[in-house]
Amino acid sequence: MQIGDVFDEESFDVLTAAVEVDRVEIDSRKCEFATLFFALSGSRTDGANFVAGAVDRGAVAVVATRPLKAPVPVVVIPESRVHVALARASATLSGHPEVGVDLVGVTGTNGKTSVTAMVAELARALGWNGATIGTLTNERTTPAAPEMYRTLAALRTTFDLQRERSVVALEVSSHALDQHRVAGSHFAVVAFTNLSHDHLDYHRTMEAYFAAKARLFDADYSSRAVIWVDDPYGEKLAASTTLAVVPVSRSDASDVSSTLGGTIFFWRGHLVNTSLVGDYNVDNALMAMTIVAELGADDDRVAAAMTEVTPVPGRFEVVHHDDVTVIVDYAHTPQGLERLLRSVRELSSGRVLTVFGSGGDRDRAKRPEMGRIASQLSDVTVVTSDNPRHEAPDAIIDAIIAGVVAGAVVVREVDRRAAISRALESARPGDVVVVAGKGHETTQTFHDREVAFDDREVVRELLKGK
């Protein structure tokens, strides 16, 4: 396709307009022949510094926010419009895979992955096409526009286009909103789950963190919002957005009964029977069901479809349920860990043994808070490594242990496998062992290497050996 056909709001000279492009990239390392390279300015790097590398790899034209010297044509688009231009170019060169798709955007600190996965499963249970883009499918929680539209195009090839609707639920992170990764996208529904302490290494304050999340709730992105209003930030958002809001609250569920085998409750007068476990999964289910209802499904069909929704990998996943129950969960924030452990407490009669750590190169202020929560709500706490990345594992553990409550039983074990083993060896019949922080992840990242490590598989291997 010629550049002149990719951009409908820009003017070019004849030679530039006639350049043939078939791919968009913002990463010079991914450029190949016929690539249109967007040299964007980021918080740490300037894309202009990578133009030469992009051209060497095959880029035939460059988009920048200022004039640049380059051996290929340079299209200058003002900073205020360049991210929308990136999205439109990505959509166009991917064949507009968004056409005919109800895109759902879900943001919040906790629950994004679970809610998007449930939305997709509900869609499929209703006979629609359903899929997700996010933590479980892409390297980034929210991929940049070129990757997002290519992913969407790949998903479209798996859809039965004769079905009534096609739904793709996208996790939208605060980083993505701050960096304009979803600029130019339009969502059938946007949703907010909650906001709690996380990513303050990037946003610095909770107010700035909230402001980033709130950007999604603008008429540029959607006209409808589903918002969890039991969260104070959700309540604030519902009161401030100009979008049509459907509030969601725990009070929407009545007669809730939950065991380690599943949960039942009533929603909008209809019985919901699901294999999902845990208090917070009721909240996630309420969000997902409300979103799908807003897409046009009848309440009774949505409630019935929840029977077919399966647990999300690494989210309150019961890995072993015999004399000792083992639960693996992704909880990696103070609020997420607290909700997880309170749910476990409600469902178990024995002791709770918790194994967890905290990721390196991330928000350090939450570490002692997580130590306090784990030691308060667990009978035994084993503090270990998560993904240390470029930090010393022992230093991260020190920060966590600094917050533990006096008198708590706390064990320090830097090796994660050994830590899980110690908890399993210490468990008695009726106890619950919680392994938190990594959930679905299948690797562990250190400063100089990445190794295979899946909490679920490690638990199974250790139990088999035991």
Q: Does 198 score more than 80 pLDDT?
A: no
Cross-strand bridge partners of residue 320: 326
We report the CATH number of the domain holding residue 419 as 3.90.190.20
Q: What is the pLDDT of residue 11?
A: 79
Do residues 22 and 120 both lie within one domain? no
* Domain hosting residue 209, numbered range: 102-308
Tell me if 16 is assigned to some domain.
yes
Do residues 423 and 440 both lie within one domain? yes
Tell me if 21 is assigned to some domain.
yes
Do residues 296 and 369 both lie within one domain? no
Tell me if 460 is assigned to some domain.
yes
Tell me if 91 is assigned to some domain.
no
Higher per-residue confidence, 41 vs 403:
403
User: What is the average pLDDT across 173-195?
Assistant: 92
Residue with tokens 């008198």: 407
Q: Does 267 score more than 70 pLDDT?
A: yes
User: What is the average pLDDT across 322-340?
Assistant: 93
In the sheet with 244-248, reading across from the earlier edge strand, the strands are 129-133, 166-171, 102-107, 189-192, 224-228, 244-248
Give the percent of the chain with pLDDT over 90. 86
Tell me if 86 is assigned to some domain.
no
We report the CATH number of the domain holding residue 141 as 3.40.1190.10
Q: How far apart are CA 301 and CA 306, in angstroms?
A: 9
Q: How many CB atoms are closer than 10 A to CB 22?
A: 12
Do residues 408 and 361 both lie within one domain? yes
Q: How far apart are CA 280 and CA 343, in angstroms?
A: 7
Cβ atoms of 99 and 105 within 8 Å: the answer is: no
Higher per-residue confidence, 111 vs 103:
103
Tell me if 89 is assigned to some domain.
no
Q: Does 136 score more than 80 pLDDT?
A: yes
Do residues 65 and 163 both lie within one domain? no
Tell me if 252 is assigned to some domain.
yes
Do residues 219 and 140 both lie within one domain? yes
Q: Does 398 score more than 70 pLDDT?
A: yes
Phi–psi pair at 340, nearest 5 degrees = -60, -50
Do residues 236 and 367 both lie within one domain? no
Q: Does 88 score more than 70 pLDDT?
A: yes
Q: How many domains does one find in the chain?
A: 3
Q: Does 407 score more than 80 pLDDT?
A: yes
**Rounded-to-10 torsion of CA 343, 348, 354, 360:** -20
Do residues 301 and 326 both lie within one domain? no
Domain boundary among 278, 308, 338: 308
Q: What is the pLDDT of residue 116?
A: 97
Q: Does 202 score more than 80 pLDDT?
A: no
Amino acid found at 367 = R
Q: What is the pLDDT of residue 197?
A: 66
Do residues 299 and 345 both lie within one domain? no
Distance of CA 85 to the CA centre of its chain: 25
Q: What is the pLDDT of residue 221?
A: 96
Do residues 156 and 256 both lie within one domain? yes
